[in-house]
Amino acid sequence: MILFQEHELEAEVPDFEHGGFKPARLIHRVDSLFGHGARLIEGAKLTHGPVELGSAVERDGFCPFCIDTIGDATSPFPEEIARNGRIIVGNSWVVPNVIAYSTVSAVGIYDVSRHFLPLTEMTREIVYDALLAILQHGKAVRAQHPDLIYSSVNANYLPPSGSSLIHPHIQSSHDSVPLGSQAKLLTASREHFAAYGQPYFEELIALEDAQSQRMVAHMDPFVWLVPFAPSGFYEAWALAPSIGDLVELSDPDIYQLASGLALVLATYEEMGIQSFNFSLIGATPESKDYGASMLFRIVARAPMEPYYRSDVTYFERLCLETMIDYSPEEWAQTLRSNFGTTMTG
């Protein structure tokens, strides 16, 4: 049913010690859920180790997510979403997104009292407050807009992940159309159930439990594992076979997810990794008919460098969506103006 497709390719690299070329390990794998390929190579590709962030993460002027500015720099929600205009859990705030990434989107700040949170201080309590607050917003949105059945919670952390702000935050998305990753998740789940009569993730967990090589931990209702064919560096998944739609997550469920995520972040810190993306995508209310479940994924990103910000965010890295800030038609008009007015063809 679920196939772990792997091919060992015959590759060579220069042999600087003896001259000529020598064999090199290269394994190609295919992800059975999303369909992408992954290549397991010899040698370091993602550099990581202790990096002094220093002044790069210090507040220098205005920050819309700090406690002294957030009240004036952000807008309140409509009363039907938040009775007092704000969603606050502990030191975590959820505010409307100033950019329309989705039909309805919001930003959740882990801790408004601290401009920067290193991974060592991303405790399960802080992560729990942020996830709880943004999922409270999601439940309120769904109650008002039942047609927005495709929900997700995503994060960029530090500029190498595509984040435009140092102050750590997460973002939610609620649409009537799925993210690319949601569409693939739902299609693959539906087809797998139709063909084999068993939910995809239930079978995957049983296979990984039996093999034990990539299984990490069972933290009910979540199962943490490393995917067979990763889509990014040091990727980890959390599966919850009993939960499809994100609005079904209870407070204890969210606490369990936060606990696991905090452990992953602590491991990143031990390895000298500073930046990451994560994506928590939900299935739809109807997906219970074929056993589709929610999925959490996290990947490490490159280390911090001065003046560098990646143009790849969680949208591109994990959600299979591109995000651009111009229209193709405007770009074509700009090119035409430089190419000249003569059109051929």
Which tokens hold the place of 44?
């370091």
Residue pair 51/27 in contact (Cβ under 8 Å)? The answer is no
295 three-class SS:
strand
Q: How far is CA 74 from CA 4, 62, 66, 77, 159, in A?
A: 47, 13, 11, 10, 22
pLDDT of 325: 61
Rounded CA-CA distance 231/240 in Å is 20
Residue pair 265/68 in contact (Cβ under 8 Å)? The answer is no
Which tokens hold the place of 41?
């190579």
DSSP characters over 16-32: TTTSSEEEE-EEEEE-T
Largest CA distance in the chain: 73
115 three-class SS:
coil
> Low-confidence residues of the chain, pLDDT below 50?
342-343, 345
User: pTM for this one?
Assistant: 0.89
pLDDT of 258: 95
E strands, the chain, in order: 5-8, 11-14, 21-24, 26-30, 37-41, 87-89, 92-96, 104-109, 150-157, 169-175, 215-219, 222-225, 233-240, 275-281, 294-301
Domains of the chain listed by start with CATH number: 5-41 (no CATH), 63-320 (3.30.428.10)
pLDDT of 270: 85
Rounded CA-CA distance 50/240 in Å is 33
pLDDT of 345: 45
Reported as a single tens digit per residue, the pLDDT across 201-256 is: 999 999 999 987 899 999 999 999 999 888 888 889 999 999 999 999 999 999 99
